[in-house]
Chain A
Amino acid sequence: MLFKTRNFDGAPVALQARNLTVSLPETPGNPQVLKGIDVTIRQGETVCLVGESGSGKSVTSLAIMGLLPQALKVATGSITLQGQDLLPLSQAQMRQLRAARVAMIFQEPMTALNPVLRVGDQIMEVMELHTDLPVAERRARARAIMEQVHLPDVDRIFRSYPHQLSGGQRQRIMIAMALVLEPVLLIADEPTTALDVTTQKQILSLIDELQQKHGTAVLFITHDMGVVAEIADTVYVMKHGEIVEHGPIETLLRQPRAEYTRKLLSAVPSLSPRAARAVADNTVLRVESLNKIYGGGGILKKLPQAHAAKDVTFTLPRGRTLGIVGESGSGKSTVARCIMRLIDPTSGRIMLDGTDIADLSRRALRPHRQKLQVVFQDPMRSLNPRWTIAESLIEGPLNYGTPRREALAEAARLMGVVGLPQDALARYPHQFSGGQRQRIAIARAVMMRPDVLVADEAVSALDVSVQAQVLDLLDQLQRDLGIAIVFITHDLRVAAQICDEVIVMQRGAVVEHGPADRVLSTPAHSYTRALIDAAPGRFWDFHNFRELPKVNHAEPA
C-alpha cells in the first residue's frame, strides 16, 4: 500500500473551520494572517496541513485551540467542533474543552514538557483539571496510557523528569497526555520535526496506531512532504494564509493542480542518488584516523569520557562532495569542527593540500585557513548582525592582505553569482531572508577562494524550495571553482542530491563509507538501512509525481 485510501465521506465531521480569518488588529494596515480558510476534519481522518514557514499553518491550529497570541484576533469565520461553535465560548469554557475534546502536541518535545515537574504528574494533571477521578484512578489511567504509547519501564518513567528522557520518549509522553482523555481531535503541530528519522518513524506509526484504536480525528501540521505521504488521508496545502489546494493524498501527489503545490513537490529532493561523477584523483583533503575524545579530566574525580569521533578516515578529491550523514550525536559535526580546527582533534592527521594541519599552532595555521572555509546551519547567526554584508564579505580577504578596493569589487561580483542584488552589500543581515543569508555566508566563504568548503547542515534550517536553490548554488560553485565540499547533514534526501561519496556515522564511528549511489541504493550496514527505511515517503518520487522505480536493497547479511 502506497497511501492511505480510506474514505471518510460518511464519517461525522469532527471539526470544521469556515472562512476563518485571523488578523493583527493592532498592526497598522490590519494585515491578515489567515485569509478565510476552510478546513474539514472527519472522525478518524488524518488531515495534513502542509506549507512552508509563514504559511499560517500553526496559526490555524492555535486558533482552533483558542490559544492565539494576544496580538492575533479571529476576524471572521467559524470553528465548529462536533457542531458546537467554539468562537463564542468564554475562556473558561475553552479551558474545559482543551485536552478533553481537542488536544494538541507540539514540535519541540524538549521544551513542550514542563522541566520541573515529573512526567507522571504532568499526565495526571490533565485528569485533575478535567475529571474528578480519585488519585488512584488517575494514576492507573496515566500508567495505562503510558503503556499504550509503548513507553518502556513505565514505573521509572512515571517518576522521571523530562530531561531524563530521550526526545522520542518525551514526544510519547506528550501524546499520552494528549490522548488520555480520548479527545475528538488531536492537533499535532510538526510533532516529529525535531526528531531523528528513526524516532520520527516510530512516532508516526504510534500516532497512526492510536488514531485507529480510538477513532480520533488528527490535524497534522508539517512542512515535510515525506511525512505527508506517509500519514495523510487528506492534504491541505497552505501558502501565505490561504489554502491553495486540498484533496486526497494520492490525488494531490500525482496530479497537483495548483502551481504552488507543483513547485513545493518538485523541490523535495529525491532519495535516488545523483548520477555518479568521474572519480577525480587530485586529493585536496585527507583525514586519517581522526579521533576526538571529550572529557576525562576533572580534579577530584575522573569525568566520564565521550568518544565523539573514532578513527575517521577519508579522502576528498578536488571538485567533489563528501557527505557525512548521521543522526544527532553521531559525531558528524565533531568531525567537521575538527577539520576546521575550531576544536582540536585528540589524535589523527588532517592533510590539507599535503600539509598536516591537525597539530599546527594557531599562528602556523593561519596561512592554511583561507583554503578551508565553512558554512554553518543557522543563517541567522552566521553573519555578524552589526556588520554590513560588504564588511562581512571582505573580512577574510583583508586578513590576507587583499586591498580593500579589490575585495569590494570581488564581493560585488560574487553578489551576482549568488543571485543577490548589488545594493545588498550596503545592507545588514536582518534585512535578508534565511535563504539569502545562507547565500551570503556561502559568498563569504567563496571570497577566500577555498579549496575545501565545509557545509555543516547548511540547508537544514531552510524551507524545501529555498533548500533546493542553495543546493543548486553549491553545485554551480563547485563546477565553476572546483571546490571540494564536506557536506554534513542528517537528511538523506539532501545527501543523495549533492554527494559523490557518503560516510554514515553512528555514535562517533564510521559505519559505512562509499560512493553515494552504492551506499544509498545498496546499503551494507544495518544502521544505514534503518536510516533509509525510516526516511518518510521514500517510495515516492515527488519531483516527477510518481513512485520511485523499485530499488533492490541488499538483504541484511
Chain B
Amino acid sequence: MSPVPPPTSAMQPVLRALRLPQFGWGSKIAALVLAVIVVLTLLAQWIAPHDPLAMNPLARLKGPIEGHPLGTDNFGRDIFSRVLIGGQLSLIIGIATAVVSVLIGLVIGMVAGFFRTADAIIMRMMDALMAIPSILLAIALVALNGPSVGSVIAAITIPEIPRVVRLVRAVVLAAREEPYVEAAIALGTSMPKILVRHLVPNTLAPLIVQGTYILASAILTEAILSFLGAGVSTETPTWGNIMAEGRMFFRIKPELILYPGLALSLCILSINLLGDAARDMLDPRLKKRAG
C-alpha cells in the first residue's frame, strides 16, 4: 500500500539531542552561556566578594565603587554578590518546579491516558485548574502558605501540572494505538508493565522539552510574583526579588533591575533555545522533507 513513513524512533533523537555537536551554532552558544551561568551560581559562595545579606544602609544605592563592582542596593548590599547568589535560588525554583510538575503530571497523565474511567474526572479537574489564571492562582497560593521558597515552588508548580497532564495523556493516547503496544498486549504483557515499559519512555522526549519550558517560565513567574509582592524574602535573594525590590529605583539606579534581569534573561534565553533545539530534533514532523 502506501510507502512507509520515515522511521520515528524517539530514543535516538534524545540521545542525539544530548550530544551537543549536533546542535546548531545558536544552541552551542546557548549551552555555553548556560554553563557559565550555572558554574558561576554554583561557585557563588566563593566568587561573591561580599555576604549578600551584609548591609550598610548609609552607603546605599552607590554606583560601582571600590569593592562593589556593580554598586550597592537600597540597603547598601553588594549587587554583584546578590545577583550571583540570587541565581542559585532562581535556578533551584526553576528546576524544582520543572521536576515536580513533570513528575506529578506524568503520573496523573498516565492514569488519565490509560484508565478511561478516571480520565473524565481527572480531565475536568485539570480543565478547572487550567481555567484559573495561573498568576492569580499562584498569588493566592503564596498568600495561603506565606512567601517561603517552598510555597513559591508549589504555587508555580500547581498551575503547570495540567499542561503536563494533557501532554502526557495525549502521548499515551497516541502511543496506546501503536501496533507495538497492541503487539505487547498480544504477547500477554500486563497493563502496568505496558505503561511503564512501553508508554513512559514515549513521554520522555516531549517531557524533556516541556520541562525546559517550565524551568524557564518558573524562573520568570517567580520574578513576577516578587513584583506583585508575593515572592520570597529579601533575605533569600533571587533574581526575581532583586528586580522586584529594585523596580522602585528603576529610574535612578536601573542596574538593580538590569543586572539580575540580564542574568535571568540570558539564562532563560539559553534554556529556551536548548529546549527548542531539543524539540526540533525530537519532532519527526519537522524533519520531514518537503515533496
Contact = CB atoms under 8 A, between A and B. Distances in A.
B2 A380 contact: no
Nearest to B193: A399
B183 A444 contact: yes
B186 A374 contact: yes
Contacts of B248: none
A419 to B, nearest CB: 20
A215 B150 CA distance: 78
Nearest to A385: B9
A370 interface: yes
Nearest to B187: A396
Nearest to A395: B187
A444 B179 CA distance: 13
B186 A369 contact: yes
Contacts of B187: 369-370, 373, 395-396, 399, 444, 448
Contacts of B201: 386
Interface stretch (A65-73, A230-238, A478-486, A501-509): A65-73
A382 B179 CA distance: 5
Nearest to B9: A385
B290 A434 contact: no
Interface string B256-291: 000000000000000000000000000000000111
B291 A376 contact: no
26 contacts: A53-B3, A53-B4, A69-B289, A69-B290, A194-B2, A340-B186, A342-B185, A366-B190, A369-B186, A370-B188, A374-B186, A376-B179, A377-B1, A380-B7, A382-B179, A384-B184, A385-B10, A385-B11, A396-B189, A399-B193, A429-B7, A430-B9, A430-B12, A457-B1, A461-B1, A461-B3
Interface of B is mostly: loop
Which of B2, B185, B198: most chain A Cβ within 10 A?
B2
Contact of A382 (B1, B183, B190, B193): B183
Contact of B2 (A68, A69, A108, A445): A108
B189 A342 contact: no
Contacts of A379: 4
A194 B2 CA distance: 6
B182 interface: yes
Given A382-B179, A382-B180, A384-B180, A373 B1 contact: no
A276 B4 CA distance: 34
A48 interface: no
A446 to B, nearest CB: 12
Nearest to A59: B291
Interface string B8-37: 111110000000000000000000000000
A400 interface: yes
A161 interface: no
Which 10 pairs from chain A and chain B are nearest by CB? A396-B187, A385-B9, A376-B179, A369-B188, A386-B11, A382-B179, A430-B7, A430-B9, A69-B291, A399-B188
Interface in B128-183: 178-180, 182-183
